Structure 1
Amino acid sequence: MEIAEALMNFKDQVPMLGCENAWIAAGALMAALKNEGTLKITEAQILEVLNRTHRQAIGGYCGLTGVCGIAPGIGACFSVILGAACPKDRETVTTMTVVAKIVNVIAQETGPCCCKNFVRHALTEAIALVKELLNISLTQPSDPIVCTDVERHPHGCRQEKCSYFRS
């Protein structure tokens, strides 16, 4: 989560809404797993995750199809780690189950959509799934996250409906 927060704080370079946030979520999860060390994540695997995310994170699709690009980004992480592919069984089931859970978590946070909120909630769920499915513990921030992007939201911040809003 700390990696994603650091990247999202480049406000001049990362738009409030956009697929860059999906790349941040996927890249941050892979970097955290690499830093943790159990899986021996390679640069090639991280690049593969980012390429897969880039192919499926398409602007506006959250509203057009119901799939925010963050979900396939997190799915790409699990797919690469597990070696999921169409002819495989458990690896693909697990990856699809992860994506379904991430979509559900994000869906609970819409109205209007907020990529920063989605990154935070998706990574919180992904960290729990990494523990459950891969038996790897990644740390969560000890201090509550407070959003500093309220004024940047082009559709209006959800304010009190968002768990990261502080007045």
Structure 2
Amino acid sequence: MENKFNCLICSEELEYFDESKEMDCYFCKKKFSANASCKSGHYVCDSCHSLGAFEIIREYCLKSNSINPMEMALDLMKHPSVKMHGPEHHYLVPAVLVTAYLNSIGDRTNLEKLLNEGEKRAKNVLGGFCGFYGACGAAVGTGIYISLILGASPLSEEKWGLSNLITAKALEKIASFGGPRCCKRDTFLALETAVDFTKEKLNVQLKKKENLKCNYSKINDQCLKDRCKFHKE
């Protein structure tokens, strides 16, 4: 969540060691000699602590072996650069989906290339796209995902259709909850749609996080509360 104190991951108080310990960074997974962590053992290196949203999304995905895009998204949302709302979610969606897909099929050869291209495309989806253009950026992110993994272009046939179809399905699901926008809700809905779509159309099984409950209601003035399926009482 935003405005975290102490641990970036769980907000617990930090503990300082008399002697440095070797620890893995929560985000980049690299090993560091560290002199502090929270009581739960979370450690974030100085580099990841200071990275911007697009950078931390890319770096995290490059190190992740997960096939659960929703859990990956929840992890990334803990980083302070990923705000309550913002266009970084337009990249977060295709990034975690591409990563989970390539991990699932066991071929990460083009991961960095696809993440870089996905970032370029996502940056063309402006903030406020949902209300001003009638196309939520999280849903567009699912279309970017399918386009990237299938190599679709404006001249493609079936691949073109699938890229547009997943966006349409994600938009329909997001629209069914009505407004105002919530980048967390819309991201979760887009990812749920993409996991189902990937299994149905590509026969690749990604994992879902069942019974996901959102922890961001208190910092979202426009939260739908009990009208949102992810609302936590």
- What is the CA-CA distance between 1:34 and the residue it aligns to? 2.2
Matched residues in 2 for 1:88 and 1:109: separation?
A: 32
Q: Choose which of 80, 84, 103 in structure 2 pairs with 1:35.
A: 103
Matched residues in 2 for 1:78 and 1:39: separation?
A: 16
Query: Alpha-carbon deviations, 1:57-84, whole Å to 9, x = none?
Result: 2111211111111122111110111121
Q: Over aligned residues, Cα RMSD in angstroms?
A: 1.5
Listed as ranges, the gaps of 5+ residues in structure 2 are: 1-69
Deviates more, 1:59-68 or 1:35-44: 35-44
Matched residues in 1 for 2:207 and 2:173: separation?
A: 19
Counterparts of 1:42-121 in structure 2 under 5 Å?
42-55=111-124, 57-121=125-189
Q: What secondary structure does 1:14 align onto?
A: coil
Residue correspondences, number: 163
Alignment check: 8 A CA contact 1:38 1:136 kept:
no
- What is the CA-CA distance between 1:88 and the residue it aligns to? 1.7
Which residue identity lines up with residue 154 of structure 2 in the other structure?
C
More helix by share: 1
**Structure 1 position 4 matched with structure 2 position 70:** no
Listed as ranges, the gaps of 5+ residues in structure 1 are: none
Matched residues in 2 for 1:122 and 1:148: separation?
A: 18
> Could you tell me which residue of structure 2 aligns to residue 146 of structure 1?
213
Alignment check: 8 A CA contact 1:8 1:24 kept:
no
**Structure 1 position 158 matched with structure 2 position 227:** no
Alignment check: 8 A CA contact 1:109 1:117 kept:
no
- What is the CA-CA distance between 1:141 and the residue it aligns to? 1.9
> Could you tell me which residue of structure 1 aligns to residue 84 of structure 2?
16
More strand by share: 2
Greater RCO (Cα-Cα under 8 Å, separation 6 or more): 1
- What is the CA-CA distance between 1:109 and the residue it aligns to? 2.4
Identity fraction in percent: 31
Which residue identity lines up with residue 177 of structure 2 in the other structure?
E
TM-score (norm 2): 0.66
